[in-house]
Structure 1
Amino acid sequence: MNVVINNHRLVALWRLFFCVLPIFAGCAALEKREAVVTTLIIRPTEDAASTEATNFSLIGRVLVKTDRQGFSGGVHWQHSDISDEILLFSPLGQTVAQINRDLEGVRLITSEQKAYHAASVEDLTEEVLGWRLPLAGLQFWILGTHSPLTFSEIDLDKNGRTVAIRQDGWQIVFLDYFSQQTTKDRYFPRVMELSRIDLKFRLVIDNWKVED
């Protein structure tokens, strides 16, 4: 089953958003999250590595802040269990970087058409872009769930939606969800924030396409 969620108004105005409203400022409505009613502590099991992946694609915006530099722009991410393609765009729509992961490894191509290779997205983005993209966990966190591979703590609201995840040294806070849901009562995040030590991300998702 394919689930497609769109926010056409945000898609049309995403460039204006970058010009007039800092993504980290947010708004009061996004900061008003449901109170935590349950905290789950989850340990990996022996069959965690065989957990079936969720295929998805999304279009959104991202802002990255570190102590020394940052990035803001658009993102287009297509994910499957064996591959990823992530395109990062400037606020004006130019491609800043293309990241590809497959069975052969990871490649990153810059706007100057320079190609870099590595074994992991995390190491490659830190080397080339100056900040670490936590793809191993993010492929699960982006869906409002935890990675099954490592220890995690999950805060849930009264509706069973994830409010926050603490895993692998990261804190992931979910600020807003799309109101549309699947027949499995699954909600998809719209705004989320990731942070650890000197690195902070905010993701605003405008368009989801998820295969269940």
Structure 2
Amino acid sequence: MLITRRLSLIVFAATLAGCATTGAPLSTATVGAYRETIDLDGKLSVNYIKDGRQESLTGNFSWEQRPGRIDVSLASPLGQTLATIAVTPEGATLTQADRAPRTAADIDSLTQQTLGWTLPVSGLRDWLQGYALGADGKRFAASPANNSVLTKDGWRLRFVSWQDEASAQPLPRRIDAERSAAGDIQDLAIRIVITPAG
């Protein structure tokens, strides 16, 4: 049970952090509303099948993004910090309270090191702001009228609700992401609910 819990925590952490770094960031020259600096809080739930068993995790996250760095803190539903992840161009570090930090050159290498396989997730830094790289290789800008896309790396995204639907470029409040397979994980489904600022 403890091993399953640790594996689930690593999948949870890697899912969130892995999304952070593997896609090329949007440029403000191509998308005027994209911000390099953001601070977000929210809730995350992950459901998947591994070894024929249904697994699920829920928790809270805090996301701090600056040019060249992303810091993610993961907490239990009751607020206990479970892990922190720091991602820079120099590498990725996963820290858990009861273990030595794990580091690697990038988040893909870190997931390979901790899980034995790479969790091929990309784009969350874009998803949190309502963007994605579509299967056609073009940038997708979500809106209430155009809220779903299949990404270049195989994710089915649906931007379900918005923080301020009436604004010129609304920010997502809830994002659902699904993928049929990621390594030996099947039917991976992620729900992200962003807490509105203020």
Of the candidates 162, 186, 193, which is equivalent to residue 176 of structure 2? 193
- The amino acid of 2:169's aligned partner reads R
Instruction: Kindly indicate whether structure 1 or structure 2 has the higher relative contact order, using CA contacts under 8 Å at least 6 residues apart.
Output: 1
Counting only pairs closer than 5 Å after superposition, residues 40-55 of structure 1 correspond to structure 2 as 51-52=27-28, 54=35, 55=37
CA distance in 1, matches of 2:74, 2:96: 10
Q: Secondary structure at the match of 1:187?
A: coil
Cα offset for 1:145?
A: 1.0
Please report the TM-score for the alignment, with normalisation by the length of structure 2: 0.66
CA distance in 1, matches of 2:119, 2:104: 13
Q: Secondary structure at the match of 1:146?
A: strand
Cα offset for 1:89?
A: 0.4
Question: Is the 8 Å Cα contact of residues 87 and 98 (structure 1) preserved in structure 2?
Answer: yes
Cα offset for 1:164?
A: 1.0
Gaps of 5+ in 2: 1-23, 29-33, 181-185
Change (3 A) 1:96 1:131: farther
Of the candidates 85, 93, 98, which is equivalent to residue 112 of structure 1? 98
Question: Is the 8 Å Cα contact of residues 41 and 194 (structure 2) preserved in structure 1?
Answer: yes
Cα offset for 1:100?
A: 0.3
Given the alignment of the two structures, is residue 97 of structure 1 paired with residue 99 of structure 2, yes or no? no
Q: Secondary structure at the match of 2:130?
A: coil
Counting only pairs closer than 5 Å after superposition, residues 136-151 of structure 1 correspond to structure 2 as 136-147=122-133, 151=137
Question: Is the 8 Å Cα contact of residues 63 and 73 (structure 2) preserved in structure 1?
Answer: yes
Change (3 A) 1:151 1:174: same
Q: Percent identity?
A: 24
Given the alignment of the two structures, is residue 169 of structure 1 paired with residue 154 of structure 2, yes or no? yes
- The amino acid of 1:59's aligned partner reads D
Q: How many residues of Structure 1 are paired with residues of Structure 2 in the alignment? A: 157
CA distance in 2, matches of 1:104, 1:150: 30
Q: Secondary structure at the match of 2:163?
A: strand
Cα offset for 1:118?
A: 1.8
CA distance in 2, matches of 1:190, 1:170: 18
Give the alignment's Cα RMSD to 1 decimal.
3.2
Gaps of 5+ in 1: 1-47
Please report the TM-score for the alignment, with normalisation by the length of structure 1: 0.62
